[in-house]
Homo-oligomer: A and B are copies of this chain.
Amino acid sequence: MTRLLDPLFRTDAMRDIFSDQARLQGMLDFEAALGRTQARLGVIPKAAAPAIEAQCQAILFDVEALARAAMLSGNPAIPMVKALTALVAKRDTKAAGYVHWGATSQDAMDTGLVLQLRNAIDSIDADLARLALALARLAKKHQRAPMAGRTWLQQALPITVGLKAAGALSAVQRHRARLRELRERVLVIQFGGAAGTLASLGERGLDIAKALAAALKLGLPDISWHSHRDRIAEVATTLGLLVGTLGKIARDVSLLMQTEVGEAFEPAAPGRGGSSTLPHKRNPVGCAVVLAAATKVPALVSVMLAAIVQEHERGLGNWHAEWETLPEICLLSAGALGQVTQIIEGLEIDTARMRRNLDATHGLILAEAVSAALAPKLGREAAHELIEAACRRAVERGEPLRDVLANDAQVGKHLSAADLDRLFNPVNYLGVAEQFVDRVLATRSVRKK
């Protein structure tokens, strides 16, 4: 929000897309296309279009002056239209009379916003493609590398690094599908005039609307949507889902990075993650940024949803609530996405430590493996109880579970020492982890084509 913190939480690319300049330019692109279209259709004089278009450059406008005027008008489009008209009038008084012809300020603001959102969606989708690639590589490289799977923050069973990466990749692919699907609903013009009827354009309204949509390479909606905001709110909800996934990845990485776990690390960079007082620290700076976004974005999405309840043909206040919120969601999403991508691309994995941590419970983590091996012989419940008791004994005595079981007569009837060795090797108890990874990678290949 400010120069001091902006670069930490937001990407340069998205800050450009949602800069004041870009917001202005979005509205000006609408005005230019409107003039061009109306001139071509003979609604306004031919000569007016180039005269208008020449001034439709954000750089010609005084943002501070527009901001002050917006305090009176209640939106930035009204002063923008006035300033544009004045600029055009300097060179061509007659053309100035045709600026913003038949449109309302929300037409300019919404269509301008949609143009910004198109850039934002393109940018996020490209970043998601890059993240998907990084996750796919990670999943492939460590497809069979065993590590502890953890549920309720407790070690549960062995999994693989590949499985963890593939789970995230699968989610990323769903987010890309959602972004594809919403384009049709979001990337449409807004053009309805003061109350959504295009009344001041008489019978020509729809023709102009069609041509305008074509000129901006946007869709033509079936009806104007000034006070039906689900179209753009869907961008918010979709990014809200995405940021959830990014937060989940960051949470996992930061937990793996704990001093006592030490299995994976954000990429190091000179000066990155240092402490002002503790020379030995390496803080998960990237994860912090992502988790901050994951704390904030759900609430911002709720603002966009609450703001859908707009009055009659134009909302009062709820419309205004969108103006900074939707850009902020895009900015924080892109910031979090950039950080996760960097983290995954440079993730340092300590597979040796992973193996050591798998031994932390002295075999308890493989209790289910033995339980499953005994179940066909003893029945599921009896096997479960036998193993549960053995686990308790192992913990009480501080002995490896394998040894406790090796000394158990009943177990000895069914399992040899070699059996136990095999059962207590985590790579022998990974189920279909490898196939799950293959399935995700295969889906990705299909989708990419």
Contact = CB atoms under 8 A, between A and B. Distances in A.
A81 interface: yes
Contacts of A351: none
A205 to B, nearest CB: 4
A421 interface: no
A390 B67 CA distance: 29
A166 B223 CA distance: 8
A238 B387 CA distance: 45
Given A163-B223, A317-B295, A436 B72 contact: no
Contact of A431 (B197, B221, B227): B197
Given A240-B305, A436-B223, A312 B279 contact: no
A382 interface: yes
A107 to B, nearest CB: 9
Contact of A295 (B226, B303, B364): B303
A294 B316 contact: no
Contacts of A60: none
Contact of A297 (B24, B305, B361): B305
A34 B231 CA distance: 41
Given A230-B174, A275-B194, A367-B280, A149 B312 contact: yes
A289 B317 contact: yes
Minimum-distance CB pairs A-B, first 9: A291-B317, A244-B308, A149-B195, A151-B314, A97-B379, A199-B431, A197-B431, A237-B237, A74-B285
A242 B261 CA distance: 31
Contact of A384 (B279, B310, B380, B391): B279
13 contacts: A8-B76, A72-B285, A85-B381, A150-B195, A154-B284, A157-B195, A171-B228, A200-B369, A206-B435, A223-B439, A277-B371, A280-B364, A291-B309
Contacts of A225: 167, 170-171
Given A78-B275, A252-B312, A391-B280, A244 B229 contact: yes
Interface in A357-392: 357, 360-361, 364-365, 367-369, 371-372, 375, 379-382, 384-385, 387-388, 390-391
**Which secondary structure dominates where chain A touches chain B?**
helix
A303 B314 contact: no
Nearest to A159: B195
A97 B197 contact: no
A241 interface: yes
A189 to B, nearest CB: 13
A109 to B, nearest CB: 10
A63 B8 CA distance: 13
Interface in A326-370: 327-328, 357, 360-361, 364-365, 367-369
Given A276-B100, A432-B197, A230 B222 contact: no
A255 to B, nearest CB: 6
A97 to B, nearest CB: 3
Interface in A260-284: 260-261, 269-284
A324 B332 CA distance: 12
A287 interface: yes
Given A196-B163, A306-B294, A312-B153, A248 B260 contact: no
A233 interface: yes
A315 B324 CA distance: 27
Given A150-B313, A163-B223, A260-B360, 5 more contacts: A73-B271, A77-B276, A153-B312, A170-B222, A291-B318
Contacts of A308: 241, 244-245, 247-248, 294
